[in-house]
A and B are shown apart, each in its own frame.
Chain A
Amino acid sequence: MTMLLNVKDLRAYYGQVQALHGLSFSLNEGSLTTLLGANGAGKTTTLRAICNMVRSTGAIEFDGKPLGTRSTENIVRFGIAHVPQGRGTFTNMTVEENLQLGAITRKDNGGIVSDIERMYAHFPVLKQRHTQQAGTLSGGEQQMLAVARALMLRPRLMLLDEPSFGLAPLVVRDLFKILGKINREDKVTILVVEQNAQLALELADQAYVIETGRIVMSGNAKDIANNEEIRKSYLGY
């Protein structure tokens, strides 16, 4: 299996405060990996560092090419879609405009049109509301929209920051089902950051556990889920 993302010795800083202390991990092409940890462990910072949204050092390679000091928008153009915490919905634009924005870097107009239809098939509720202002959508619908918007990039790697945040358990289940489907059918590599460890481990095939900016555990998602000691000490369930 080929390696899609390789992160070595990642250190990130907020001003004088160091948030990541030399993180190293890798994602295989086509894998669905979850990054777990408590509040403040550095999960969000890791995703933000990959997209160069915080000051960081270390080496990040995507498909063998170093990302270096490229700006966020240029990293996105490599095919890395990032669904940020809080979803980053363009609330004063319509649902359809949000989807078009997801594909703003693409030049194939025909492909964009058919991809929008594909998203409506994945998420029928978005089709019903395609002319509505995105801000009027419910939390769950906005999360669907955020995932759909990210997919419009036709990404090779999708980074999701706490997609379950603030959603009802049933909605979360639906959403995770769709993520699994996207991973299998569209061959999108996914890295999902979650606080809901139980659910994330059910979905993922690989898992990393981080604590105060360091990776403390990695392995097969099933193994981690089955190891009671790890569950109790790091994941709290």
Chain B
Amino acid sequence: MELFTNQVLAGIATGAIYACMALAVVMIYQAIDHLNFAQGEMAMFSTFISWQLMQWGVPYWGAFVITLALSFVGGIAIERILFKPLAKAPILTNVAGFIALFAIINSSAGLIWDFTIKQYPTPFGSSPFLGSQLISTHQAGMIGVTLLLLIGLFFFFQYTRIGLAMRAAASLPESARLVGINTSWMIALGWGMAAAIGSIAGMLIAPVVFLEPNMMGGVLIYGFAAAVLGGLSSPFGAVVGGFLVGIFENLAGTYIPGVGNELKLPIALALIISVLVVKPAGLFGRHIVKRV
């Protein structure tokens, strides 16, 4: 029983990483209706920027805020320059665009900062949290930040006019234009916010997985899985999904015989798919009724 509890705790700790990433995934899915395969790379690049700032002597929180702002602007710029011209292209062409962006960012980061692993600092320290060896203060801080972000997003979308406009633009673009919403800019704003949230995720994850250009590969897959599991239309679902995926992964690694590190990912995904077969819109997603 103690093993079980410990594994669940450890799962929650890794789950926080996925939850953070899933939140960014859901953000952009809300705005543009696609899963952005390059999101992890964008987060990685942001994290490198903050690292570079710290190398230049900027203190942690200064670098944090500057990175956040740069990522926001960068996200908008990527949308305006690279994806706005593809707005009328088929969905699959857009997906190809995400893959291209992935390749560009990954390879550029490798050239600028090379592929060696770098240490990344944590603002929360890494001593055991409340005496538990399984959750460090950093991981607890990460969970706290994720929840704060979630609450912030909830208020933004529920109670601000711009949040309302973004939701309207995402759900019915034509009607949104008819009430005077500039839907094209709402998409850009969605990219900016997703990039900013992604950068937070990156900066929180980097102390755990270490900083290098491929750091987000696995994390993004789990983030996608978490977002899909929770329901792509629900930021709350994404966070819950993140924790669940973390727990799944740990328990599968502990209790299913023969599951090494390699098979953890496929098994976690298989579990998620089984859930989806029963609940196709995810745990907290809204089921969308299609009109013929």
Contact = CB atoms under 8 A, between A and B. Distances in A.
- On whether A and B touch (CB less than 8 Å), the answer reads yes
Interface of A: 51, 53, 71-74, 76-77, 81-82, 84, 88-93, 97, 100-102, 104-105, 149, 153
Interface string B178-202: 1111110000000000000000000
B279 interface: no
A103 to B, nearest CB: 8
A121 B271 CA distance: 52
Contacts of B286: 92
A84 B168 CA distance: 16
A84 B165 contact: no
Contacts, number: 61
A90 B171 CA distance: 7
A89 B182 CA distance: 18
A94 to B, nearest CB: 11
Contacts of B88: none
Interface residues of B, number: 18
B180 A77 contact: yes
A76 B176 CA distance: 11
Contacts of B178: 51, 72, 76, 81-82, 84, 88
A76 B174 contact: no
A84 B176 CA distance: 11
Given A73-B181, A73-B182, A73-B183, A104 B174 contact: no
A149 B209 CA distance: 50
B164 A104 contact: yes
B167 A104 contact: no
Contacts of A101: 164-165, 168, 176, 179, 181
A102 B179 CA distance: 5
B174 A84 contact: yes
Given A88-B178, A105-B179, A149-B179, A100 B172 contact: no
Contacts of A149: 179
Contacts of A93: 164, 167-168, 171
A76 B179 contact: yes
Contacts of A89: 175
Contacts of A84: 174-175, 178
A50 B178 CA distance: 12
A104 B171 contact: no
Contacts of B177: 53, 71-73, 76
Contacts of A82: 178
B290 interface: no
A71 B181 CA distance: 11
Interface in B139-192: 161, 164-165, 167-168, 171-172, 174-183
A211 B182 CA distance: 34
Contact of A88 (B175, B181, B182, B183): B175
